[in-house]
Amino acid sequence: MENPPKKTTDSGLEIKSVYNATDRPNTQAEQPGEFPYTRGIQPDMYRGKLWTMRQYAGFSTAEASNERYHYLLKQGVSGLSVAFDLPTQIGYDSDHALADGEVGKVGVAIDSIEDMRRLFQGIPLESVSTSMTINATGFILLSLYAAVAKEQGADIKKLNGTIQNDILKEYAARGTYIYPPRPSMRIITDIFEWCSREMPKWNTISISGYHIREAGSTAAQEIAFTLSNGKAYVQAALEKGLDINVFGKRLSFFFNAHNNLFEEVAKFRAARRIWSNLMRDLGATDPKACMLRFHTQTGGSTLTAQQPLNNISRVTVQTLAAVLGGTQSLHTNGYDEALGLPTEEAARIALRTQQIVAFESGVADTADPLAGSYFIESLTDEMEQKAREWMKQIDDLGGSVSAIEQEYMQREIARSAYAYQRKVESKEQIVVGQNAYTSDESLQTPILKIDDSIRQLQTERLTNLKAQRDAAIATKCLEAIRQKAVSGENLMPAVLDAVENNCTLGEISDVLRSVFGEHK
């Protein structure tokens, strides 16, 4: 009899055909809500509170995005998730030459406090949780958000939400950075310090493995590189004299969910275990500072332009992986996102997928329902070991910042991406509808398109804003930012003052470019 073909996970971990008690003889009597939180951070998990259901949205103008947010809130989302266009992400106003062709395309264009007012018109910010996917300019968007909330009469100490604010993964995987790594880290610790005092309920960073995975990493690399980046942020905050038991509670993570259901569940369980031990080793004594809390988004890179309705099935599997793995928050992709921004129909189906899993599948009825599975427990241990091996290599290079400066992470992600693509092309990895089970049928999928006239509208608004504001005050505010950048003082109070006095995102970014330079 021939031996059956070898099976491995996406991370190269070998899968046996059968697992039994001998594969994990030392099973611990660990409970959900107990250190090291392998089984989840809450004793009853979703019995007490379901994960926050978000739908990532942002496109065109602030008015258009605001309309989508009101639609999603009526459909049952429990938190907003904002996408910003590329100029906003890299610190250019819509009228900048480099913004041409990109304004409002992959997210909403936000140039000033006027745009932020329009974005959240009719949405009381004190009563909604808002996640903003923004990194290099995260401190400016946070200031704009706080300024608009204050205008609404909100107490900013009660604001609840997250800025992604993870610049290290931008150098490693995504590319929307502005300043070199070390001044960027300084800005992040300024945010930690300011929020611990002014916005204590705000999650000051969402340390992101999502984009590392989208760039082609394996599941094990995703958590290893992400947790190593998290360690770098914690060490930078400690060097600034911040209390790990205070800022540690406001750290959150952002992971990807791909199609290999059991590997993904094991990945999330292993990540919690590694992080809790890492934080304790760094000096955390408050249990909440040791808990890895994370948002999940289903895998954009797994979606196919061919037979796009198949993506509904993929997103369902990935939703199950996130929920069975214990996520605190979830965004599900629209089936049409390999073709363009999601239409309302696609966004509604994606949200309904979460709701069906929550209320019809039964997987939320008990905490960590896969616990005790010989396969899951063994795979969790192996995933932890593999991730720790990657993390040791990063530590040996001097930590994440040094590893990124030496382009170690970038090279390893590229190698994994190449290896995966070779498997797809050789059909060792089947992608239904793309390299197998293909169809010649033509299915017309509606695509959401963004009008190029958005840039002209935003430019006119910027011109009017600058004509009507007090130019002397704006100049004084920008000079205050420059002085604090040079002196090393916390930048956040000066940035908040600047946005309240109608300074633009591009102007603030340019002041800091003049001090910090740009990363090449």
- pLDDT tens for 352-365 read 999 999 999 999 99
State the pLDDT at residue 1: 46
Tokens of 135: 């990194």
Query: How does DSSP classify residue 255?
Result: E
Query: How does DSSP classify residue 129?
Result: E
For residues 87 and 137, give the distance between their C-alpha atoms in angstroms, rounded to a whole number: 10
State the pLDDT at residue 444: 78
User: Which of 381, 265, 369, 260 has the alpha carbon at shortest distance from 322?
Assistant: 265
The pLDDT averaged over each successive group of 10 residues in the chain (520 residues) is 77 93 78 96 94 86 94 89 95 97 94 98 95 96 98 97 94 93 95 96 95 97 98 96 95 97 98 98 98 97 96 98 97 94 92 97 96 95 98 98 95 97 96 93 76 91 98 98 98 98 98 96
Q: Position of tokens 């199609």?
A: 259
User: Which of 514, 507, 520 has the alpha carbon at shortest distance from 92?
Assistant: 507
3-state secondary structure of 37: coil
User: Which of 2, 132, 150, 113 has the alpha carbon at shortest distance from 69?
Assistant: 132
For residues 205 and 227, give the distance between their C-alpha atoms in angstroms, rounded to a whole number: 13
CB atoms within 10 A of CB 514: 10
CB 494 within 8 A of CB 484: yes
Q: What's the residue count for the chain?
A: 520
| 176 contacts: CB under 8 Å, gap ≥ 6 | 86, 89, 90, 135, 136, 170
For residues 483 and 504, give the distance between their C-alpha atoms in angstroms, rounded to a whole number: 18
CB 509 within 8 A of CB 137: yes
Containing 96, the helix (H) or strand (E) segment is none
Q: Identify the sign of the CA torsion 393, 397, 399, 401.
A: negative
For residues 36 and 157, give the distance between their C-alpha atoms in angstroms, rounded to a whole number: 30
Tokens of 382: 């192996």
Q: Position of tokens 């004509």?
A: 467
CB 326 within 8 A of CB 48: no
pTM: 0.91
State the pLDDT at residue 448: 75
